[in-house]
Structure 1
Amino acid sequence: MSATTIAPAPPRRTRSWALLAAGTVLAVVALPAVAYEYRYVWADRLLDHPMAFGAIGWSLVAVAGYLIPRRTWQQLMVGLTSAAVALCWIAGVWSLEIFQSAEFAGFSGIANADGTMQTHVLLGGFVDPYWEIRVEQTDRGLLNRRFTVGCVNGDGQSLQRLSWSDGSLVVDTSAGTVAVPVGENGHIGRARPLVGTTPDEDFGGNGNAPILESC
């Protein structure tokens, strides 16, 4: 019988650098997870967890810093990497989360007539609130995407109701109502004012302020 050969485990130094690389990547991913709007629904749900990425990433960086042999140039590299990621994660993620929108359940999940589109509304803002209105596809599996319809500025008006009518998303606010055509491929058309509103040169508005602004 021939003896079974067991491959040697990677050296401690290699494992340590792998942990450092993995931790740095996870911590850095926390930044675009806050700042970037993912077009695909699955990507948004998977990557939009900055605090979790940061916590796991920093834990791996700390373990790597402990395991890496204590040589001057290695200590310097670990220290610089840790400091850079710490500054990016703490300053960037924390500051961006102050202004980050949270899902507004009251207006999210409203489906169109054939069930291929539904609304996804985010409520954000630091001083004055704003509602960011999106629609997302529901019938294309992993290819489902989100598209931004526009924003309702809470400075002087509020979002009151969303509904679908003849292929358009009807946005009812305290300043008036607009209908926004939404194509099957997610193409967002030009908003048109409805009952009691005066057209604005951009989106259809009431007075000097548009009902629906670009985000």
Structure 2
Amino acid sequence: MSDQTDARYQLDELISTEYLIAEPEAKIQVICDIDKTYIETRFETPIAMLKIAFENAEQKVTVTGAPVALLAVRWGNFYGGDTRLEPNAIHFLSASPPQLRRVIRSKLAIDGLDWTSDTFKNQAYNIKTRKLKFLKQHVAYKTATILKQMSLAPKDARFILIGDNAELDAFIYLGVQLFVEKKLSINGYREYLSLGGVHDEVLPTLEPYL
């Protein structure tokens, strides 16, 4: 067998994160999905997906109320006790490829937002390793990204997760909550993720994040 065939799947290769603002001490950390949560995105058909690739920032449509909501999240004082006007960290998380990073950043800037980091899914890795069956499976990718962000945050940081129902966001967020609150053991969390469609080949690569 070739080395490529023997090689273990590397989940970390999917995670393309770039930081725009250093906010390591932010006590409130917000992770927000982009597709269908912030930007109206239709990717149910190949034609719709192709259209997304050629849209410019001005052509992308914001979900109604999303910019106002994100500005409130960015500057809101949710738990009281701190009168300093300091921003909360916002991390955008998308299952779109990094090739769309520039146009999506332009769209966010047009809407008057600033943010801490953004993460895109490096689908080129799945194509290169011929793992085409994983192209539309986002549970492991999003779970790993969220747990990685949590590991980098202050120990007393609180997290707000914002998503939609298109890519199992609620399932992913609930699993993360149950795990970090120790209501799921590591083995229990593995079983939970399996129920969400995480393949047996991918599950072991989540171990570094648990």
TM-score range, shorter chain: under 0.3
TM-score by length of 2: 0.22
Higher relative contact order (CA 8 A, sep 6+): 2
Point out the structure with max Rg over C-alpha: 1
